Structure 1
Amino acid sequence: MLQRIHFISGLPRSGSTLLAALLRQNPRFHAGMSSPLAGMFGALLGEMSERNEFAVFLNDARRRRILRALFDEYYADSTAEVVFDTSRAWCARMPVIADMFPEAKVIACVREMPWVIDSIERLVQKNLYSPSSIFNYTPGGTVYTRANGVAGADGMVGAAYDALKQACYGAQADRLLLVRYETLASQPARALEAIYGFIGEPLFPHDFQHVDYDVAEFDRRAGTPGLHTVRGQVKAEPRKTLLPPDLFQRFAGDAFWNDPQRLPAELRVV
């Protein structure tokens, strides 16, 4: 049975794969790119609802046991002492995480919003002959239509952003740690020290000069080669944005986590 689990969530293109690549250097830890667990969890929960005529045979205690077993079985072949499961959806599931895994913490990766949009656009413009699953494999459009699509309430970025805000201002904010991409990329030792302290684990000597993680086949099938590739040294690399100025400015004020006065006192940010 799975003993210790924590969750990596937050915004896309904000360092979750880099964080997993670093954490997995610790032989006691299991971490990786987004797993199917969050989707399976939602689908199973829906199938156990009253829309199913056999829901009469289910109560909340049984539903809870079935959902917990999903995690136990998925990671049954892992020998790691501590598992980190990754999905942008976990920020929207804070109450059920707190109920099912009382000791679990959620690490949410965040990044200045214009640079999240820029990172997605950079991938699109890099893979000229490979339409991305991010846009349902539809070619064409402009930087504006793509930004509008991912930033909408049901978009890749918009949905994650709303879930993040819900988690930050919800009743479980004390089990949430926000990790800025800017900190992780420029001060990885500081970020990892904060994470280890947050989850109550002894610090491990990570190698920030040689970090490697790649799921090339997954990224190829997603039409977005390089989506989850991490190689080499952890470092901040300043660059010019691909976004037009008006589009960049549209998202410039969305990083609410940078203003301590707008955050609950129990929420931690590094």
Structure 2
Amino acid sequence: MSLEPKLRLHFLSGLPRSGSTLLAAILRQNPRFQAEMSGPVAGLFAALLAEMSGKNEFSVFISDTQRQRILTGLFESYYADCKADVIIDTSRAWCTRLPALKTLFPESRVIACVRDVAWIIDSLERVVRKNALQPSSIFNYQSGGTVYTRVNGLAGPEGMVGFAYDALKEAFYGEDANRLLLVQYDTLTTDPEKALAAVYAFLGEPSYAHDFTHVSYDATAFDVKAGTPGLHTVRSTVKAIPRTTILPPDLFRRFANDAFWKNPQNNPRGVTVV
């Protein structure tokens, strides 16, 4: 049974440290849009799915129609006070949920921010070193280890980067890849007008004159609580800042060929990459 959703909902996902918070900060300049950093909805979604599964003996009383209504109701309840016409919910987990999102919100689309993995790792390591006196939630507040153990943890299948990377590939090569747009960090920071034009076209929304010199977003309280001050800091002016990596050369080279989306031969479903 198909249930007509009440929300005009889209999703922001992809790799960490790849511009999703920046993109949300830009989009929220448009009064028609609601966009934030990663929030709790994806976790609540997963918890509801689990509780309605066969692990719960009462699941025999829950039909697929009820599941759909309950999961749709999660979004409707969470965003009940939102006055925006278009809502964009952010989580790296959404790339693993394209079939479910298609069922619940047939008109929804997923924007995935991407970046060379070596520079993602470099960026996270910079945050760790900048907050050398505060163990980070990224590493379960463990204070030991080296850059190598930190990178191994990040890049592992359950790590912040490894999970998001695998989720991205699942969406990119899956049967619902036509619902996916990849926005490269380099494009967003060097040519934000091009990136935003692609986003609006992908969502089927009228364009908006964004101000790329006065972008604002404040997640200070969240970052401090997580032991990672600056993790979601957004500079007021959108621009690329060249730098030299702080990673050992062998670690940096380890991820040299991971940007699969850059090679058209690796894009059999024709996902738009901007």
Aligned to 1:42: 46
Q: Read off the aligned partner of 2:139 and give its amino acid letter.
A: F
1:39-59 CA-to-partner distances (Å, cap 9, x unmatched) read: 000011101111111112111
Residue of structure 2 in register with 1:26 after alignment? 30
For 2:145 and 2:269, how far apart are their aligned partners in 1? 42
* 1:246 matched residue in structure 2: 250
Q: What SS is found at the alignment partner of 1:8?
A: strand
Name the counterpart of 1:6. 10
For 1:231 and 1:212, the matched residues in 2 are separated by 7
- CA drift of 1:185 comes to 0.6
Measured after TM superposition, the shift of residue 265 of structure 1 is 3.9
Check if 1:196 corresponds to 2:200.
yes
Q: Output the CA distance in 2 between the equivalents of 1:98 and 1:254.
A: 28
Query: Where do 1:128-143 residues align within 5 Å?
Result: 128-143=132-147
Question: Counterpart in 1 of 2:110?
Answer: 106
Q: Residue in 2 aligned with 1:65? A: 69
- What's 1:153 paired with? 157
User: Any conservation in 2 of the 1:2–1:71 contact (CA below 8 Å)?
Assistant: no
Question: What's the counterpart of residue 219 of structure 1?
Answer: 223
**Quick check: 1:2–1:75 contact (8 Å CA) kept in 2?**
no
Partner of 2:240: 236
Contact 1:17 1:230 in 2 (8 A): yes
Aligned residue for 1:115, secondary structure, equals helix
Residue matched to 1:264: 268
Distance 1:137 1:208 in 2: 35
Q: Counterpart of 2:227 in 1: which secondary structure? A: coil
Shift in Å at residue 2 of structure 1?
A: 3.9
What SS does the aligned partner of 2:212 have? coil
**Residues 256/183 of structure 1: CA separation in 2 closer, same or farther (3 Å cut):** same
Letter in 2 for 1:151: A
Alpha-carbon distance, 1:232 to partner: 1.4
* Counterpart residue identity of residue 100, structure 2: V
* Alpha-carbon separation, structure 2, partners of 1:62 and 1:200: 30
1:167 matches 2:161: no
Aligned equivalents of 2:242, 2:80: Cα separation in 1: 42
Counting matched residue pairs gives 270
Report the equivalent of 1:16: 20
Name the residue aligned to 2:88: 84
Where does structure 2 lack aligned partners over 5 or more consecutive residues? none
Counterpart amino acid of residue 13 in structure 2: S
Counterpart CA distance in 2 for 1:3 and 1:44 is: 19
Q: Secondary structure at the match of 1:179?
A: strand
CA contact (8 A) 2:223 2:230 kept: yes
Whether the 8 Å contact between 1:168 and 1:264 is mirrored in structure 2 is: no
Listed one character per residue, the Cα deviations across residues 152-190 of structure 1 (whole Å, up to 9, x for unaligned) are 011100011000000000011001000000100110000
1:96 and 2:100 are equivalent in the alignment: yes
1:164-221 per-position Cα deviation (integer Å, ceiling 9, x unaligned) = 0000000110010000001001100000000000000010000001111011111000
Identity percentage over the alignment? Answer: 64
Measure, in 1, the Cα distance between the counterparts of 2:224 and 2:162.
24
CA RMSD of aligned residues (A): 0.8
Q: Deviations over 1:202-248 (max 9, x none)?
A: 10000001111011111000000011111310000000101000000
2:214 corresponds to: 210
